[in-house]
Chain A
């Protein structure tokens, strides 16, 4: 029997507006309200609301047999609160079924884990606080931004009280080993690692609309047929997706909703498969081995490294300049500027500066608003410069 874990990420950031250098120290509206509202509502309409409704229906029908987990970045929660509060309500209803787990995450879909412990912990704690406020939950498993993970990040999370971390089944780390087993951090063996079977995920995320599945599109039957090929003694199948896969990357007319509905129904009816959520792992199994990740891994590209966000000099410079302000952040009394500094840590801003695939139209660049990586960099740096000035000022004192 396989335990199957479906996990969905939501990590929509606050997108920046065009902020020119002559705006620095003149005004402090960094965010594109129209774009943010438009995208939040579009996604709510196409993906979040209908997909939540679908899950609710499945849970109502199959009870304990269908379970999923979510990680929702704090910035996305704020986006929903601001522009489409019905999404929050819809998630509350899902959580109330007790079949849905919310895992820990970063507060602003932040890359802080690639910088240092204090910045990362700040993000983790703020997210815990927000989850408690909004959904009244206290997470025990963790899914980092872009499932970035390393031994060190694992240790930090263990110290913060987490038992399970979701990350990539990166081939260059695993070698001959299979992601379908339970692993643990080599230094903190209590910290369990659930590894994503990325080929199976990519079959849906990247290849759902391809027609070379025996000459037709992908169906739940064909997908389960592939799952069946996994050896019977492999206990786990971990499938993590961007939630936007359902309805946005693949729009409703491609049949993605029907696919998931059929997939979940057939798995629920099949005795060979059992839905679980990450927190259930804790009491279930002893890990089969350690997994040693000396350098950060993520679910990006074939390399499963962090080059998508920190691959070129622009990204590194922006990243260094951003986290240089950590002390200023700690000392600052300007709440708005502090919040903005956190928002700038979002991986998306760095993704827009990527020159890794110049002509590549990857799924991840779907929401890119900049004409080139350079303009993304300049815009980010303009905003960062103003945030820095704002962190240095104390609005209350002024008044």
Chain B
């Protein structure tokens, strides 16, 4: 079984949980005897390629005259005739030519390479389209049985590959537009792309029952086509050292400081706890568009001496942060899965997570609260800090629980899904 997989990021250079999940999933597939060719817009060369093959989309040459144009109802392919002349240059192509210098499109003869940023920047939509062009090119040359696309950024690529190769497509929902922007700020273009991807796919994998419900109810995908495939966590060989420089207990929030992650509830909770027990420090690790508002609110509540900001953390800094933490809090408003509580538990940190998260579906040794219920969250934090039996239980059982969430098992389920769609087509 060979799978052509389209992702957007891959460790070590990641902005969120998507890359981490792709890493674990591909390794799990390798263990289950599935060959993975992982396509990403911009590989840096330091990705772990021991078990899978990474294809850097920025290295792939495409011939724009062959690029498939996706329209309602199908594709139109420009067929090459042996001529140097290009009859028209459409408005889009014109701008492509104009933009090629600052957007890094390199043309040699008829072929060109796109220099992707692989980030989530201003020209994201353009990158998404170009990624699809590259995908079609790759699909022509690679041998594979099934296509797997992660999140809306790669759906066009997945669909392009499907159209070129005729192989079945599995799309994987790590987050939906409803999670990212909330019910009332849906970006129609993103929603459209998501729905397009899900509709074209032969099977849709959702990272939790929560997400599965959204896919069925908000995207109107038939329920029998949507399966839940919970995430897992890559086992950590190194033990995180408990090292603390302050005598106070430390309560940590780690994640993007955006609406979706509920950082403001973390601040309000901190105030509740600090009113009763000043011997606690709260740490908000991460960055995002809500940062100014959060800082202002902390100052307004007068808890700045006990509330700290670290900015965005990665790699060993995260381990260090967990090594200092006594409680980890994830008050997400909507979290399709949420892999970070698993990382905290793996580092022996008890967790308080919102019920509105997919990870709550797989954990027993965690306190689950409604994200808006700051009283309950504060009470859970206080309980974990003051009643040692509880944190001891969480530490002893939590790690065990997380270690049992293995990517191999997830990948085995995924392999069954592949087999099913391959046999059907």
- Residues of chain A touching chain B, judged by Cβ–Cβ distance below 8 Å, are 20-22, 24, 312-314, 316-318, 355, 358, 371-372, 374-375, 377-379, 381-382
Stretch at the interface among B69-77, B374-382, B405-413: B374-382
Stretch at the interface among B238-246, B290-298, B299-307, B383-391: B383-391
A378 touches B387 (CB 8 A): yes
A-B pairs with beta carbons under 8 Å apart, 5 shown: A21-B386, A22-B272, A314-B393, A374-B380, A378-B387
Of the candidates B386, B389, B392, the one having the most CB atoms from chain A within 10 angstroms of its own CB is B389
Q: What are the 9 A-B residue pairs with the smallest beta carbon separation, nearest first?
A: A317-B389, A378-B383, A21-B382, A20-B379, A313-B393, A381-B387, A374-B367, A313-B389, A22-B276
A314 touches B389 (CB 8 A): yes
Q: Is the CB of B275 closer than 8 A to any CB of chain A? A: yes
Contact of B383 among A312, A355, A381 (CB under 8 A): A381
Q: How far is the CA of A372 from the CA of B379 in the complex (A)?
A: 13
Q: Is the CB of B27 closer than 8 A to any CB of chain A? A: no
Q: Is the CB of B419 closer than 8 A to any CB of chain A? A: no
Q: How far is the CA of A317 from the CA of B383 in the complex (A)?
A: 13
Which residues of A have CB within 8 Å of B275? 22
Q: How far is the CA of A108 from the CA of B392 in the complex (A)?
A: 30
- A100 to nearest B CB, angstroms? 43
Q: How far is the CA of A355 from the CA of B365 in the complex (A)?
A: 10
Q: Is the CB of B364 closer than 8 A to any CB of chain A? A: yes
Q: How far is the CA of A334 from the CA of B392 in the complex (A)?
A: 34
A21 touches B276 (CB 8 A): yes
- B348 to nearest A CB, angstroms? 16
Q: How far is the CA of A389 from the CA of B367 in the complex (A)?
A: 27
B375 touches A20 (CB 8 A): yes
Which residues of A have CB within 8 Å of B369? 371
Which residues of A have CB within 8 Å of B393? 312-314
Interface size, B (range)? 20 to 34
A375 touches B367 (CB 8 A): yes
B382 touches A314 (CB 8 A): no
A358 touches B364 (CB 8 A): yes
Which residues of B have CB within 8 Å of A21? 276, 378-379, 382-383, 386
B367 touches A20 (CB 8 A): no
Q: How far is the CA of A358 from the CA of B387 in the complex (A)?
A: 21
Q: Is the CB of B346 closer than 8 A to any CB of chain A? A: no
Which residues of A have CB within 8 Å of B382? 21, 378
Q: Is the CB of B256 closer than 8 A to any CB of chain A? A: no
Which residues of A have CB within 8 Å of B364? 355, 358
Residues 8-47 (chain B) with a chain A CB within 8 angstroms: none
- A382 to nearest B CB, angstroms? 7
Which residues of B have CB within 8 Å of A355? 364
Which residues of B have CB within 8 Å of A318? 389
Known: A317-B389, A381-B386. 15 other contacts (CB 8 A): A21-B276, A21-B382, A22-B378, A24-B276, A313-B389, A314-B389, A317-B387, A317-B388, A371-B369, A374-B367, A374-B390, A378-B390, A379-B379, A381-B383, A381-B387
Which residues of A have CB within 8 Å of B150? none
Which residues of A have CB within 8 Å of B368? 371-372
Residues 341-379 (chain B) with a chain A CB within 8 angstroms: 364, 367-369, 375-376, 378-379
Which residues of B have CB within 8 Å of A375? 367, 376, 379-380
Which residues of A have CB within 8 Å of B272? 22
Of the candidates A372, A378, A379, A381, the one having the most CB atoms from chain B within 10 angstroms of its own CB is A378
A382 touches B367 (CB 8 A): no
- B278 to nearest A CB, angstroms? 13
Q: How far is the CA of A316 from the CA of B392 in the complex (A)?
A: 13
Q: How far is the CA of A379 from the CA of B369 in the complex (A)?
A: 14
- B277 to nearest A CB, angstroms? 8
- B340 to nearest A CB, angstroms? 20
* Beta-carbon nearest neighbor of B367 in chain A: A374
- A325 to nearest B CB, angstroms? 15
Which residues of B have CB within 8 Å of A20? 375, 378-379
Q: How far is the CA of A230 from the CA of B390 in the complex (A)?
A: 48
* Beta-carbon nearest neighbor of A317 in chain B: B389
Which residues of B have CB within 8 Å of A379? 379
A377 touches B379 (CB 8 A): no
Which residues of B have CB within 8 Å of A382? 379, 383
Q: How far is the CA of A326 from the CA of B386 in the complex (A)?
A: 22
With A374-B367, A381-B383 known to touch, is A314 a contact of B378 (CB < 8 Å)? no
A316 touches B389 (CB 8 A): yes
A377 touches B378 (CB 8 A): no
With A20-B378, A22-B275, A372-B368 known to touch, is A377 a contact of B392 (CB < 8 Å)? no
Q: How far is the CA of A299 from the CA of B381 in the complex (A)?
A: 35
Which residues of B have CB within 8 Å of A358? 364
Residues 256-276 (chain B) with a chain A CB within 8 angstroms: 272, 275-276
With A314-B390, A372-B367 known to touch, is A378 a contact of B378 (CB < 8 Å)? no
Which residues of B have CB within 8 Å of A24? 276
Which residues of B have CB within 8 Å of A371? 368-369
